[in-house]
Structure 1
Amino acid sequence: MSAPRTRRRPGLLALGIALVVVSALGAVSLFTVFSDTQRVVLVVAPVDAGQTIGAEDLAVTDATVGPDLAVVPAGELDAVVGAVARVPLLAGQLLSPEAVLDGPPVPGDGAAVVGLPLTRTQMPAGGLQAGDRILVVDTPQAGGEPPTGVPDAIPATVLRVVTDPDDPTIAVVDVVAPVDDARSLGARGATGRIAVVLEASVSLDQEG
């Protein structure tokens, strides 16, 4: 006895095909809404934080960019050439506006860069990053009495932070300050009797 033949129902088949088509169109529509192909700036060569961004470090490319991703449009390429990298830039990444410091290249006229060797106990637990404004405060000798008045402090701006690969508890923080202040900071840093106070954080400014 042969098996009964299944009767095809053209109406249901047509409905199924229509649902597939509608689902596909909906997916395309959602992709179009939540993403967009743009001409943007691409990093093609690594740039260290605090270094000037050169024309050879950047290129223009087409990229699909989601609505929550901030990028530098291709039309602003000339504006970022010669600017300073706020954070390390990696080849292959799209350039973000937050990764570029505003203003002229550092240190600039009348300013100098000085490196301060610091331990974890000499700076905020959250660390420091390029663009942070800090106060470098004089501290007493280890085990000495705390000062009775307000200790001397020199303002500076963080240029870059380099951690010792052999000892992650120690970092060299390059800071920018007026030339005379930079000389004083160099002398103070050599004694180790300093502490860094974070006055204005780049990351906190961005969150606000």
Structure 2
Amino acid sequence: MSTTTPATDSRRQQRKNPTDGELTSAPGEQFAPPPKLRRRPVLIAASVAAISLGALASMWAYQSTSDAQSVLAVRQTIERGDVITADDLMTVNISVDPALKPLSADQASSVVGKHAALDMSAGGVVTQDQVTEQALPAKGSSVVGIALTPGMLPANQIRVGDKVRVVVTPGQQGEMPTGQPDSIEAVVVGVAKDETTGNAIVNVQVPNNEGPMLAARAATGKVALVLDSRS
């Protein structure tokens, strides 16, 4: 005699639906409901954050690309007065403040062959005021370097191109010269700072015949710079 168990009876009572082939249950029997998927809030939040960051990164990349300009830059350092060659320049695509007035990449031919009006550091953007057609010193002129203490020139006012007067100051005993003090008119062609002493080094261009006299006066340290009107 065969024996049956409740599980066996249940299996025997199950049969296929003749119309769709799906399993059905005996009257009064119910199938267990499918398990519910468990949601993980942490994973959902992380996914949303990743999508948001990706969108922001794409927007930033697009904005950076759309604002970029193709401009001229310095490949290798150019000293003031040097002739600029094609090898000294390169083209870069960057976002530049228009106030700097950078030269666009298509202006390279107008820069090559000219002189550097200022020292041009490698990696810097080329601007119009860095380039000049005139060699330094100009024909018939000399350049003299003057070391000046902070009190001997207008603070943070001297820049390349300024017209100045180099004035003789009182001697060692502080005696004032009689009459109008001697002065020499000059044009500033370079400004730098001596990191050791803190003094300003101002290079000025003067006529050839006044170069030796100005150099002798500058060597005494008894000179000052007067800035004249830029208008």
Question: What is residue 213 of structure 2 aligned with on the other side?
Answer: 184
Summarize the Cα distance change of 1:64–1:140 in structure 2 as closer, same or farther, 3 Å threshold.
closer
Summarize the Cα distance change of 1:117–1:38 in structure 2 as closer, same or farther, 3 Å threshold.
closer
Distance of 1:120 and 1:173 partners within structure 2: 12
Aligned-partner residue type, residue 163 of structure 1? K
Query: Is the 8 Å Cα contact of residues 47 and 85 (structure 1) preserved in structure 2?
Result: no
Question: What is residue 176 of structure 2 aligned with on the other side?
Answer: 146
Summarize the Cα distance change of 1:178–1:35 in structure 2 as closer, same or farther, 3 Å threshold.
farther
Distance of 1:91 and 1:152 partners within structure 2: 41
| 3-state SS of paired residue (1:115) | strand
Distance of 1:120 and 1:160 partners within structure 2: 16
Question: What is residue 111 of structure 2 aligned with on the other side?
Answer: 80
Q: How far apart are 1:109 and its partner, in Å? A: 1.0
| 3-state SS of paired residue (2:103) | coil
Question: What is residue 128 of structure 1 aligned with on the other side?
Answer: 158
Give unmatched runs, 5+ long, in structure 2: 1-34, 37-51
The question of 1:175 aligning with 2:175 is answered no
Counterpart pick for 2:72 among 34, 37, 41: 41
- Identity of paired residues, percent? 32
Distance of 1:128 and 1:148 partners within structure 2: 28
Distance of 2:187 and 2:98 partners within structure 1: 32
Aligned-partner residue type, residue 57 of structure 1? D
Question: What is residue 111 of structure 1 aligned with on the other side?
Answer: 141
Q: How far apart are 1:137 and its partner, in Å? A: 0.7
Aligned length: 181
Q: How far apart are 1:181 and its partner, in Å? A: 1.4
Aligned-partner residue type, residue 215 of structure 2? G
Question: What is residue 122 of structure 2 aligned with on the other side?
Answer: 91
Counterpart pick for 2:223 among 189, 194, 199: 194
Summarize the Cα distance change of 1:96–1:144 in structure 2 as closer, same or farther, 3 Å threshold.
same
Distance of 1:93 and 1:125 partners within structure 2: 26
Summarize the Cα distance change of 1:151–1:94 in structure 2 as closer, same or farther, 3 Å threshold.
same
Query: Is the 8 Å Cα contact of residues 101 and 128 (structure 2) preserved in structure 1?
Result: yes
* TM-score, normalised relative to structure 2: 0.63
Summarize the Cα distance change of 1:178–1:140 in structure 2 as closer, same or farther, 3 Å threshold.
same
Distance of 1:69 and 1:161 partners within structure 2: 19
Answer with 1 or 2: which has the greater Rg: 2
* TM-score, normalised relative to structure 1: 0.68
Q: How far apart are 1:175 and its partner, in Å? A: 1.5
Query: Is the 8 Å Cα contact of residues 116 and 173 (structure 1) preserved in structure 2?
Result: yes
CA deviation vs aligned residue, 1:36-74 (integer Å, no higher than 9, x gap): 4433211111234x3325212212233344555521012
Higher strand share: 1
